[in-house]
Amino acid sequence: MAQESIDEALSGDVSPADSGERPSYFLESLERGLNVLECFDAQHPVLTLSEVATRLGIPRATARRVLLTMTDLGYMAQDGRNFSLTPRVLSFGFSYLRNLPLPRVAQRHIEKLSLDLGEAVSVSILDGDRVVFISRTASPRLLNMAISVGTSFPAHATSSGKVLLANLSAERREAFLATTQLLPYTKDTVIDRAVLGRELDAARERDWAVSVGELEGGMLGAAAAIRTRSDTVLGAVTVELPATRYTGSELETILIPRLIECARAIAVDSLT
């Protein structure tokens, strides 16, 4: 610890902004760099320096330093005034994915279910207050949800989010319900903490959950928990489809049992 304090004093790498509400170790320029990386998204694959500065609300000079540093390091490509990401950024996400056994184990099971149902099937896990897709099949349908591995959604508005939140420890579940801002994405999004709590109770009991039009109008999500015999929930198997495709009773008699069956097969494989 003493050595760390000395190193820290010597490093001199503290920006003035650190003296604000951030802890003293906090590296502002690292945060800005990661924010810049994230601001190149599907809707904004190419951005100018000014656009990055505007989107993030940071000075042009700061945006410039981040973009030029990233370009030097090979994460960003510059073409005149335009900046875009390079394939090198793939190394982050995929080194993470390669370390998860779940996507490897799950893939053949969700591909089988996807063929049977004629729908895209996914596996998702919880990351804080969001669900993140870590496996997904290509959809055989023309009409497709714009979901790929890496896509994330607010947990409270999705079926997989409900089934995963339902299986948190009592402590973490309480913390989620107490602190998360429950934004309404449609008029049907459950934003009442007591109502959501009861939905989580039900999801915990059944090991499945649905979300009808809560993230997007007309869309139905259904998810089953991947639960091992030691009662650990590894993730959720989910489908999203137009709500008109199944009636309420078909949902419970046809779709949900298939999801549960797939989730169980993945859980069994995950133990071997």
- Residues in 203-262 that interact with a second copy by CB under 8 A: none
Instruction: For the CB of residue 80, give the shortest distance to a second copy in the complex, in Å.
Output: 16
Instruction: For the CB of residue 21, give the shortest distance to a second copy in the complex, in Å.
Output: 12
Distance set, CA 59 to CA 27, 31, 42, 51, 245 (Å): 17, 14, 24, 11, 49
**φ, ψ of residue 257 in degrees (nearest 5):** -60, -35
118 lines the binding site for a second copy (CB under 8 A): no
20 lines the binding site for a second copy (CB under 8 A): no
Q: How far apart are the first and last CA of the chain?
A: 42
37 lines the binding site for a second copy (CB under 8 A): yes
Number of H helices, E strands in the chain: 11, 9
Judged by CB, which is closer to a second copy: 89, or 212? 89
Specify the length of the chain in residues: 272
Number of residues that bind a second copy (CB under 8 A): 73
29 lines the binding site for a second copy (CB under 8 A): yes
69 lines the binding site for a second copy (CB under 8 A): yes
- The order of strands in the sheet holding 130-136 is 152-154, 130-136, 121-127, 233-242, 219-227, 208-212
107 lines the binding site for a second copy (CB under 8 A): yes
The kind and range of the H/E element at 222 are strand 219-227
Instruction: For the CB of residue 212, give the shortest distance to a second copy in the complex, in Å.
Output: 26
Point out which span in 150-158, 173-181, 183-191, 219-227 binds a second copy (CB under 8 A): 150-158
Q: Distance (Å, rounded) from C-alpha 129 to C-alpha 117?
A: 29
Write each residue from 86 to 105 as x if it is in contact with a second copy (CB under 8 A), else as -, in one continuous string. Answer: xxxxxxxxxxxxxx------
Instruction: For the CB of residue 138, give the shortest distance to a second copy in the complex, in Å.
Output: 6
Question: Encoding tokens for residue 261?
Answer: 């069956």
Write each residue from 48 to 67 as x if it is in contact with a second copy (CB under 8 A), else as -, in one continuous string. Answer: -----------xxxx-xxx-
